[in-house]
Amino acid sequence: MINYLEMSKAQLTEEKETLTKAYETFKHLNLKLDMSRGKPSPEQLDLSMDLLDNKEYIGETGIDARNYGVLEGMPEARRFFAELLGVKSDEVIVGGNASLQLMYYLIELGYRNGYPDSEKPWKENAKNKFLCPVPGYDRHFRITEYFGFEMITVPMTPSGPDMDIIENLVEKDDTIKGIWCVPMYSNPDGYTYSDETVRRFANLKPAARDFKIFWDNAYCVHHLTDTPDTLLNILQECRAAGTMDMVFEFCSTSKITFSGAGVAAMASSKNNIDYILRNMFPMTISFDKINQLRHVKYFKNAKGVAEHMKKHSALLKPKFDKVLEVLNEEVASCGDIAHWTNPKGGYFISLYAMEGTAKRIVAMCRDAGVVLTGAGAAYPYGKDPQDSNIRIAPSYPPISELETATRLLSVCLRLATVEKLLEA
């Protein structure tokens, strides 16, 4: 154990020299590795290739999936996603290939037209605010940034975002129109909201009558262990509390089948679903029903999905383990200079380096040929006030490359830490 926090300046200077040499050695390897985005690996995509063999196009109620119409989705696809999300079929819209597109559409709808419970469209308000648990998913923040919301950060904890802060804010401020949530295996920490957190969300009493919870359950079946986290069903809690209009839940098969050609769905109150469908009507005549049908034929039900996800887990788990093993070996031995999450599912490990070093670490990795998600990307406007968080996405690179990349990352982290300590 060499505890950096107990080292003298002379020892730190010596350590800096050793690390600089190690870093230069990595640079000479001319690496070209990418740990930046949570993309499935080609082997994961290969798991679903049989899906494409399915040529059936007549649905169980006689609908010809090749043709126009049935905007709400094939009935069997609505039933399939209703089972996954634990709601009724008529509380589901099955969309195109991306849940992000549905989220964007719903923010845009609130902005342009408002919701049944809105006094006026959001665009007519002098100010609109949105709550953003941090760190969070950069693409969520990009949507609300695009529509000019002021984004208010709320700290994440292992049981979900800080609910005291959220209740306090939304109950007082009617300019707060919504919140982004990734309730299971959150991006990037991998935390799952506790039952209490979910219940407190379902029972929120926002000052804005048209406050909406964007419940992005992107990782609802993406377990990495045999003892998965469990998540309380928010829409059922809301049904009991009479607050179903407040929640939009999303999921997709992007990380079950194909990221670029999966099927996305959303669920909410019947009231909201009817309103959304009426407003989607001018936009499109139907989403890709052939793909919807293919997916249902392939998986049949939630049990079929769970079986398939075990194959993903078999490919992903060793990658997560490798990153954690290297970090434990290379960084944990240097004292309390960084910490990281150990998720039971999802796509990311969240690394917290010493304050003020994340940008430097990511830049050093980049200069040595390893691309990481930009430091700060998990915060609104791309700004991590602590400059500490780095999102690690282990899914894409082969395991040998992942090991090299994590070893380089560890050297960069240690070097940036030593530099920081020497500045003090």
Residues in contact with ligand PLP, counted by CB under 6 A, come to a total of 13
Distance CA 120, CA 365 (A): 48
Run of H or E residues at 111: helix 99-112
Site string for ligand PLP, 19-38 (x = CB under 6 A): -------------------x
Least CB distance from residue 160 to ligand PLP, whole Å? 14
Residue 100 makes contact with ligand PLP by CB under 6 A: yes
- Two structure tokens written together for 66: 């090749």
Residue 76 makes contact with ligand PLP by CB under 6 A: no
Q: Which of 252, 268, 269, 417 binds ligand PLP (CB under 6 A)?
A: 252
Q: Which of 254, 313, 388, 406 binds ligand PLP (CB under 6 A)?
A: 254
Piece of 4-12, 48-56, 93-101, 149-157 that binds ligand PLP (CB under 6 A):
93-101
Residue 264 makes contact with ligand PLP by CB under 6 A: yes
Piece of 65-73, 98-106, 223-231, 289-297 that binds ligand PLP (CB under 6 A):
98-106
Q: What is the dihedral of CA 41, 370, 354, 153, to 10 degrees?
A: -50
Nearer to ligand PLP, 114 or 228 (CB): 228
Would you tell me how many other CB atoms lie within 10 Å of the CB of residue 81? 30
Give all strands (DSSP E) within 293-343, no chain letters.
339-340
Nearest to 354 by CA among 373, 329, 377, 335: 335
C-alpha torsion sign, points 318, 252, 184, 50: negative
Q: What is the three-class DSSP state of 80? A: helix
Site string for ligand PLP, 136-175 (x = CB under 6 A): -x--------------------------------------
Residue 98 makes contact with ligand PLP by CB under 6 A: yes
Nearer to ligand PLP, 57 or 147 (CB): 147
State the SS3 of 41-76: CHHHHHCCHHHHHCCCCECCCCCECCCCCCCCCCHH
Nearer to ligand PLP, 39 or 79 (CB): 39
Q: Which of 156, 182, 266, 324 binds ligand PLP (CB under 6 A)?
A: 182
Run of H or E residues at 179: strand 176-181
Least CB distance from residue 140 to ligand PLP, whole Å? 7
Distance CA 327, CA 338 (A): 10
Q: Which of 76, 91, 189, 216 binds ligand PLP (CB under 6 A)?
A: 216
Residue 99 makes contact with ligand PLP by CB under 6 A: yes
Nearer to ligand PLP, 276 or 415 (CB): 276
8 Å CB contact between 82 and 300:
no
- 113 burial (CB, 10 Å; 0-12 / 13-18 / 19+) is middle
Residue 218 makes contact with ligand PLP by CB under 6 A: yes
Which residues of this protein are in contact with ligand PLP, per CB under 6 A? 38, 98-100, 137, 182, 187, 216, 218, 252, 254, 259, 264
